[in-house]
Amino acid sequence: MEIKRNSVQFKVYGKYALFSDPITRPGGEKFSYQVPTYQAMKGIVESIYWKPTLIWYIDAVRVMKRIQTESRGMRPIMMKKVKKNVDNGLAYYTYLRNVEYQVLAHFEWNEHRPDLARDRDEHKHHNMAKRCVAQGGRRDVFLGTRECQAYVEPCVFGEEKGFYDGDYGRVDFGLMFHGFDYPDETGKNELGVRLWRQSMTDGVILFDPPQSVEYRRVVREYGKSYNYKRFTEGVNFNVELV
């Protein structure tokens, strides 16, 4: 795999993770995928460092520890009472337990944000991202859902011993959720979803870039009036040369 000049490498770990399979969610009970999704890892990188000038791309994830699950009884708060004197429901959530992943990611400029063209300083953003990795991230990091707190540390991708190293072979996880196509990243006034066939070879998952994913579907269309915050130099955006 190629390590680009603006790549960041780090490990993320925690006691629990919940990368929900959408098929299990309508019934109120959540069941985790066996491995993280592209969108979940992208969210972690964005929690570490993000600016609207750039888009993060996940190149690879390495599963360091054995895949284990744990089911826990939960009482989710019901937003609408079905019966009198019933304050919440009862559900079982199946989490991944004792997880650790190595992540390799890089960023590219968001060409749909011409208002931020003067902020496209690769050296600046790369160094800020590496400092944020060393500090554990700018915002709270979690593995799939808010109750699964995670921690971030710098690492060298491929180093350290992993459970699936060696000749473990290929594991196919079937059709999985890949990620969302957001309007500010695609230039289209619609929200799309991507699905792909995910697999792991000797503990390493190589992700296809969003542009190469075959299975797509538009889940929401926005009107022509839809817009996002724009930046105007000298008003709410300043470029300082140091």
* Under 8 Å between Cβ of 194 and 180: yes
The residues with which 8 forms a beta bridge, in sequence order, are 105
Backbone φ and ψ of 238, nearest 5°: -125, 140
Q: Is the pLDDT of residue 238 over 70?
A: no
The residues with which 97 forms a beta bridge, in sequence order, are 16
User: What pLDDT is recorded for position 84?
Assistant: 59
Specify the residue for token string 């960041």: 8
**What are the structure tokens assigned to 75, written together?**
């009482």
Domain annotation for the chain: domains and CATH numbers: 8-161 (3.30.70.2660)
**What are the structure tokens assigned to 232, written together?**
């105007």
Non-local CB neighbours of 227 within 8 Å, separated by 6+ positions: none
The CA–CA distances, whole Å, from 165 to 32, 201, 204 equal: 23, 9, 9
Backbone φ and ψ of 119, nearest 5°: -95, 5
User: What pLDDT is recorded for position 15?
Assistant: 96
Secondary structure (3-state) at 51 = coil
**What are the structure tokens assigned to 129, written together?**
């991202």
pLDDT digits (tens, 9 = 90+) for 179-225: 999 998 998 889 999 999 999 999 999 999 999 999 999 998 887 76
Q: Is the pLDDT of residue 104 over 90?
A: yes
* Under 8 Å between Cβ of 209 and 185: no
**What are the structure tokens assigned to 19, written together?**
């990368």
Q: Where does the pLDDT of residue 80 fall: very low under 50, low under 70, confident under 90, or very high at 90 and above? A: low
pLDDT digits (tens, 9 = 90+) for 39-73: 999 999 999 999 999 999 999 999 999 999 999 88
User: What pLDDT is recorded for position 202?
Assistant: 95
Percent of the chain residues past pLDDT 70, beyond the cut: 88
pLDDT digits (tens, 9 = 90+) for 127-171: 999 999 999 999 999 999 999 999 999 999 999 999 999 888 999
Q: Which helix or strand (DSSP H or E) is residue 55 part of? A: strand 54-63
Q: Is the pLDDT of residue 82 over 60?
A: no
